[in-house]
Amino acid sequence: MADGAAQPTHWQLFIGMQQVALSSFGGGLSAWSERIVVEQRQWMTKEEFITGLTVARLFPGPNQINMAVYIGSRFRGLTGAIAALFGMLLLPFSLLMLLGLGYFYLHEILAVDRVLAGVITASAGMALSMGFKIAGAYSRDPVAMLLAGASFLAMTVFHVRLVPLVLVAGPLAMAWYWPRGEQR
């Protein structure tokens, strides 16, 4: 843990993560998380934070939610994780639920529907960009591109479900990329 800083209490974890959630209204959750946890509150060093982010990205679950859980549990175990998680989600989730109620009760209004008809074309473009965003990391590795192509075809053309796909392709890919001494 960072020098000179006391271990945050459950309440401080809750408030700190709420501050992250509030600051990031409009985007940049990851950057705000680092600014508040490392620079302002000095709960962790930058290295500790990056290690946490690596673990958060590696494990299943949304990255930023995992990061809150990581921070909470490093200081206060399971209950600390819950405090951090509540801090991170309470306000955004409440707001989203309000938006949701608004949507389900108002979406049949013509004006709302027409605006949404436009908005979804933008969000579809955003969804399409997700793959391209990380594709660069693999484009020089033919085996990786083969794996990616096969996974894509399995889902789109052969309608393979996600869980069996991951259970079959995952172990095969892991076996291929298992570190083999000095050769790799």
11 binds another protein (CB under 8 A): no
For position 109 contacting another protein by CB under 8 A, the verdict is: no
Q: Is 116 in the site for another protein (CB under 8 A)?
A: yes
Nearest-10 crossing angle of helices 63-106, 10-23: 60
Annotate each residue in 45-64 with x if it binds another protein (CB under 8 A) or - if it does not, as one string. Answer: ------xx-xxxxxxxxxxx
Contacts of 7 (CB under 8 A, 6+ apart): 1, 75, 76
Site membership for another protein, residue 5 (CB under 8 A): no
Mark residues 83-102: x for contact with another protein by CB under 8 A, - for none.
--x--xx-xxx-xxx-xxx-
**Can you list the alpha helix ranges (DSSP code H) found in the chain?**
10-23, 29-34, 46-58, 63-106, 110-135, 142-156, 162-177
> Which residue lies nearer to another protein by CB, 7 or 123?
123
Compare residues 9 and 100 and give the one whose CB is closer to another protein: 100
User: Tokens 């790799």, residue?
Assistant: 184
